[in-house]
Chains A and B, each alone.
Chain A
Amino acid sequence: MPILALALIAPAVTPYNPQTMSIGERLQPPSTRHLMGTDVFGRDVFSRVVAGDRVSVEVGGMSVLLGLVAGSLIGAVSGYTGGLFDDVLMRLMDSVLAFPAILLALVLVAIMGQGLIAVMTAVAALRIPIFARSVRGLVLAERTRDYVDAARCIGQRDGRILTRHILPNVLSPTIVLATSYFASGIVIEASLSFLGLGVVPPDVSWGTMLNDSLQVMQIDPWTVLFPAVALSIAVLGFNLLGDGLRDWLDPRLAIGLRSAGEREQRSS
């Protein structure tokens, strides 16, 4: 949550413009003037870490949202419709899933060109088959339930059954899944930017900061330390958020945990 909050208020808390170079102050170690030191171009590392947080949250959030919406739509329609339509769509999703994520992202960025929008779209495209497969599985399980038969009996149309009855029931596990992929979106964005294929300067990304620091990391380690720590904290934070949401939203897991607790109490 602090990472999300920091992303929202980034411009207000950065002491310097994260893009402004000050060559005379290059590679300054952390001090009261520059909390996390300065980089090879004399830019304030703290301001850039905060600005990078915003980019990471934007990419993570938007890519997951786009992937979630598109993937859920495909998965829900595919699962509910079934038959040949389902087979064709799922084989297509499987073929996309067969590619390693970072490789596919590289190809997509190479096709679309660099920049924040391209990275978001590429990461979202990677997520579509994952959400589609997951939602389809959940819809397949739900569509045989009694409440769906009941809805059909009273004459409700398929679209309404899907949107009003089935989708709300598959929403919780899908949100949990989305949260866990938030962190992986951040990692892919950082990887692409590190490779010089993601965010284009003057926009700031933790990945570009790590790349910029490569040749000075042994002499001036703070230039690589702070963006790396920020990236690690963000990934850990969003993974923990996903776990917490799962605990909160997944009733089966809650029952399982309660049962385990009861068993433990009985055995002791």
Chain B
Amino acid sequence: MVSNASSRGLSRRTLLKGLTTAGIGIGLSRGLERPPVAADAAPAPGVPRRGGSMNIGIEEDLTSIDPYKLNGNGDLLIQGLMSQPLVAGNAADKIEPVLAESYRSESGGKAWIFNLRKGVKFHNGREMTGDDVKWSFDRIRDRKNGAVLSSIFNIIDLRTTVVDRYTVRTDIVTGFGAFLSNLAQSTRAAILAHESVDAGGTVTKPIGTGPFQFVDWKPGVQFSAKRHDGYWQTGADGKPLPYIDALTVKIVSDPSARLNALLAGGLDFVTQPPVAAARNWIDAKPPEGIEFRRWFYNYSDYLSLNTRRPPFSDVRVRQAVRATIDRKALNDAVYFGLGQVHNQPFKTSSFWYENIPIAPVDLNKAKSLMQQAGLGKGIDVTLAVWSPVNDARAEVYQAQLAQIGMRVKLDKHDPGSFFALLPTYNWEMATLEIGTLFHPDRPYGYLSKDNVGHPYVGGYDDPRVETLLAQGRDELDPAKAKAIYRQVVTDFMAVGTPEYHVNLPLIDAYHSYVQGFDAYGRDLVAINGQMGLHKAWLAK
């Protein structure tokens, strides 16, 4: 039989062998190929050099090209390349000027006057003025444009007046203390040129003031940008930043694939490589020629329990969950110990972090609470999961809660169905994440019944917390505001939802020839312009 087959010239085995060899060959050649990088002759070490292009791999794509619709990680990473706000939070969560040179409040925070930075150019070469600020804020407020901050701008009744070419006044009726932090939410309140929108009012090509300008976006594949020659920040050589000429941001959703592409040379820089690899680099050392950075910003996971339906309408069951979840084990299992265990959405180094001890794991107490709630024999519950992003975390919750008789069934969703499910309250537990925080009003504001994020915290209902939230939102003195929010944190901790467990680690990995890069936020260019890829250069 075998001799017959081989005598036919091209056997199936030979054909398969040939195809496999050809496939591997093509794959290798494609994996190793890199577009040529045009750069100047090598300068002295450590001295920034200009030119060249970078290929970057990130985990998620943009959800919209409109910076006011910023929602996901892809938006956070990319939009800050192109657009900037008047003010932004720094690494310590203090608000500082960006496109505004300075600002002040009047009438107890009811009016804010912004003095604009002079000579800031949009990507189309036109100078940014007070008219652009008014156009941008009015567009955000107009509900038909779908801006994330639209509801907040309407609640605070934001009215913008152009005082002169470089001065803008905004008047609000409430939320005085949290106002600047709302403007600092990445590009959700960025200043855009009105030429960014088409006749129908849709943003088709974002024209901002950021260091990179839009070139092309192929959804799900890649985003391209080139340097903004008229950018307002200057480099060490006194010329405008950025140093590099162009960026291609490729969407590579699998962490291992991103890392492999980096190691093979197809990418210069990747966000969020596998945490296991980063752990190994910390314990041993990274591969030759690879650098990495790990840092934290206010980016936390949390477990939400639906207080509007059994079994979590019973506070004892929520407290039982609280006494069961082992944060350290969760951090070790899912983030290889690289996260930062905490009990509130702010990183421990943030000004807004409240020094309240983390509740210890106490399984006996948890079991006793379950007994008292009449659930001594255990109960079946469902955990809604944004899959696959939060699958591992959900598995750990499932295993830990099994210890007190909670048989957790995972209900996996894509982002669309997950966020459609939450407002229906037709769920029992949900695992979520929250970030982009510069003021407690954003995460804790969800506890208010009027907040659009109220379902995310399980329909929490406490009149005392509502009052405290209103006070905190209006308090201009950060120290007094912090004292108010301490009571809020203490209150929601006592009733067991929402439960914040780990401040998620942020990791970037890149080739050693990428120099001058530093980061503190989620963005590729920090929203305050102080760190990021616009300050990086290619030393090769």
Contact = CB atoms under 8 A, between A and B. Distances in A.
Interface of A: 19-21, 23, 26, 40-42, 114, 196, 200-202, 212, 214-220, 260
B396 A41 contact: yes
Contacts of A23: 329, 332-333
Interface centre among A21, A114, A217, A220 (most CB of B within 10 A): A21
Nearest to B399: A21
B277 A200 contact: no
B277 A215 contact: yes
9 contacts: A23-B329, A40-B333, A41-B395, A196-B387, A201-B394, A201-B395, A215-B277, A217-B256, A219-B280
B398 A40 contact: no
Nearest to A197: B412
Given A23-B332, A26-B332, A215-B256, A201 B276 contact: no
Contacts of B276: 40, 215-216, 219-220
Contact of B412 (A41, A42, A114): A114
Nearest to B332: A23
B322 to A, nearest CB: 19
A41 B402 CA distance: 15
Interface string B375-403: 00000000000011001101110111010
B399 A200 contact: no
A219 B287 CA distance: 13
The 6 A-B residue pairs with the shortest CB-CB distance in the complex, in nearest-first order: A215-B274, A21-B399, A23-B329, A216-B276, A215-B276, A196-B388
A23 B332 CA distance: 7
A215 B398 contact: no
Interface in B255-292: 255-256, 274-277, 280
Nearest to A201: B395
Contacts of B255: 215
A102 B132 CA distance: 52
B429 to A, nearest CB: 15
B410 A201 contact: yes
Contacts of B396: 21, 41
A214 B280 contact: no
Interface in B331-345: 332-333
A42 B336 CA distance: 12
A214 B391 CA distance: 13
A214 B258 CA distance: 13
A7 B277 CA distance: 35
A107 B275 CA distance: 31
Interface of B: 1, 254-256, 274-277, 280, 329, 332-333, 387-388, 391-392, 394-396, 398-400, 402, 409-410, 412
A21 B410 contact: no
Contacts of A41: 333, 395-396, 399
Nearest to B254: A214
B256 A202 contact: no
Contact of A196 (B1, B333, B391, B398): B391
A260 B256 CA distance: 52
A41 B274 CA distance: 16
A214 B387 CA distance: 16
A211 B525 CA distance: 33
A38 to B, nearest CB: 12
Contacts of A214: 254, 256, 274
A147 to B, nearest CB: 34
A48 B320 CA distance: 29
B12 to A, nearest CB: 15
Contacts of B277: 215, 218-219
Given A21-B396, A23-B332, A23-B333, A200 B1 contact: no
A267 B388 CA distance: 62
A202 B275 contact: no
B398 A202 contact: yes
Nearest to A217: B256
Contacts of B400: 21
B224 to A, nearest CB: 29
Contacts of B329: 21, 23
Nearest to A257: B1
Nearest to A110: B414
B388 A20 contact: no
A196 B411 CA distance: 12
Interface centre among A21, A23, A42, A218 (most CB of B within 10 A): A23
A40 B329 CA distance: 12
Contacts of B394: 201
Nearest to B263: A218
A218 B398 CA distance: 27
B410 to A, nearest CB: 5
A50 to B, nearest CB: 19
A236 to B, nearest CB: 16
A150 B280 CA distance: 77
Contact of B399 (A20, A114, A196, A219): A20
A141 to B, nearest CB: 26
Nearest to A200: B410
Contacts of A20: 399
B288 to A, nearest CB: 15
Interface centre among B275, B333, B399, B412 (most CB of A within 10 A): B399
B368 to A, nearest CB: 23
Nearest to A114: B412
Contacts of B395: 41, 201-202
B330 to A, nearest CB: 9
A218 B410 CA distance: 28
A21 B409 CA distance: 17
A21 B395 CA distance: 10
A219 B277 CA distance: 8
B341 to A, nearest CB: 13
Contacts of B387: 196
A26 B391 contact: no
Contact of A21 (B274, B333, B412): B333
A215 B273 CA distance: 9
A201 B333 CA distance: 15
Nearest to A21: B399
Contacts of B409: 200
Contacts of A42: 333
B526 to A, nearest CB: 27
A200 B411 CA distance: 9
A202 B332 contact: no
A201 B397 CA distance: 11
